[in-house]
Amino acid sequence: MEPMKLSIEPGDITTIRVDAVVNAANSELRVGGGVDAAIHRVGGPAILSETRRIRIDQYPDGLPAGRAVATTAGDLPARWVIHTVGPVYSAREDRSHVLESCYRESLRLAASLGAASVAFPAISAGVYGWPIDDAARIAVGTADALAEEVGRVVREVVFVPFGEDAVAAFTRALAGLRRFPRD
Ligand code: APR
């Protein structure tokens, strides 16, 4: 079997055709800004009504950073939105393990749903302030490390960098992978 493919498709994640789109959500699972706003705007109200139910039934205190839950993708060209909460960047405290957990838990959830393709934004690299080079390195490295565990189901992981700096960062991060190129 071919190894799990890692690729880059710059631009707006709401236009990408994949089985599961990952959202950089907040712990309250309310509509925020950035990629979260775009996903709710294009996906429509069905997404918010499912996140409300998840809050009530499973996470009354909010979804902790590093965890992931799935909803319908509504009107997006995907089947599911996987909502994960990134850590707020801190220069004093290393929260990399939480950011790694976002990618790991999202990919595990995607595999459990049967998603063959998953698109990720640069989690925590916007409002939450994570430096883009480091965010991209963690994203690519963590997905690659999960290839063996989820790769039978998840055949392709698409990173969706938004803006020039993010494209450069993800390109460098992919080039830095030991197993690259792999398509
Ligand atoms: N497609 C892809 N990437 C996007 C899009 C889009 N349509 N819009 C923004 N981005 C990029 C940003 O440029 C950034 O690199 O997504 C990355 C993550 O940025 P944010 O969306 O700000 O997410 P994050 O830093 O994890 O902060 C999460 O922001 O909007 C709120 O509800 C959200 O409170 C939560 C917080």
List, for residues 135-170, the tens digit of each pLDDT value: 999 999 999 999 999 999 999 999 999 999 999 999
> What is the count of structural domains for the chain?
1
pTM of the shown model: 0.97
What is the b/e burial string over 11-23, where b = at least 16 CB atoms within 10 angstroms of the residue's CB?
eebbebebbbbbb
- Please say if 36 is a catalytic residue: yes
Q: Which residues pair with 8 in a beta bridge?
A: 159
Is 161 within a domain? Answer: yes
**What does the alpha-carbon distance between residue 62 and residue 95 come to, in Å, rounded to a whole number?**
19
Please indicate, yes or no, if residue 69 is contained in any of the structural domains: yes
* Residue closest to 84 by CA, chosen among 129, 23, 41, 125: 23
CA gap 65, 151 in Å, rounded: 24
Rounded distance from Cα 114 to ligand 1 centre (Å): 25
Most ligand 1 atoms within 8 A of CB, residue of 8, 35, 134, 167 to mutate? 35
Residue 182 pLDDT greater than 60, yes or no:
no
- Ligand 1 centroid, distance to 1 Cα (angstroms): 34
Any atom of ligand 1 within 6 Å of the Cβ of 34: yes
Instruction: Report whether residue 51 contacts ligand 1, using a CB cutoff of 6 Å.
Output: no
- Whether ligand 1 lies within 6 angstroms of the CB of 126 is answered as yes
32 lines ligand 1 (CB under 6 A): yes
pLDDT tens track for 10-58? 999 999 999 999 999 999 999 999 999 999 999 999 999 999 999 999 9
CA gap 90, 145 in Å, rounded? 24
CATH, residue 114: 3.40.220.10
Residue 180 lies in a domain: no
CA torsion sign for 105, 109, 110, 112 is positive
Range of the structural domain that residue 149 is part of: 5-175
Q: Are 78 and 21 in contact (CB under 8 A)?
A: yes
Distance (angstroms) between ligand 1 centre and the Cα of 124 equals: 7
Burial-class residue 168 by CB neighbours within 10 Å (0-12, 13-18, 19+): middle
